């Protein structure tokens, strides 16, 4: 493939799917207030676990989860998968 085609395909995929989606880091920041997450404070949403810095942020997230998931994406972070619970 010619270099120009490679560049165009790369550009297309990065713009179509977002550069952050390809290189997202694990979540370390609360999507509501921007503080450091507490691993004991979380909400499981659509197969993902989203962590928060305080109880207030959990309530805010539940009011508009898509808004805060978008903020995580913009920060280059992604929620983790829900861990399997051993019984």
The answer, yes or no, to whether residue 19 has pLDDT greater than 60, is: no
pLDDT bracket for residue 24 (50, 70, 90): confident
Flag whether pLDDT at 36 surpasses 90.
yes
Task: Map out the domains of the chain as residue ranges.
Answer: 22-81
**65 SS3 class:** helix
Asked if residue 48 has pLDDT above 90, the reply is: yes
pLDDT digits (tens, 9 = 90+) for 49-79: 999 999 999 999 999 999 999 999 999 999 9
Percentage of the chain lying above the pLDDT 90 cut: 67
The confidence score (pLDDT) of residue 12 equals 54
Q: Is 29 in contact with 75 (CB distance < 8 Å)?
A: yes
pLDDT value for 3: 60
Q: Which is nearest to 65 in space by CA: 23, 21, 31?
A: 31
């Amino acid at each position: 493939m010619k270099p120009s085609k490679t560049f165009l395909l790369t550009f297309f995929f990065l713009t179509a799917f977002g550069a952050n989606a390809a290189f997202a880091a694990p979540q370390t920041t609360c999507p509501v207030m921007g503080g450091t997450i507490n691993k004991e404070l979380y909400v499981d949403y659509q197969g993902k676990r989203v962590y928060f810095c305080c109880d207030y942020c959990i309530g805010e997230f539940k009011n508009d989860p898509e808004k805060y998931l978008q903020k995580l994406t913009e920060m280059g972070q992604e929620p983790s998968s829900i861990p399997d619970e051993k019984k």
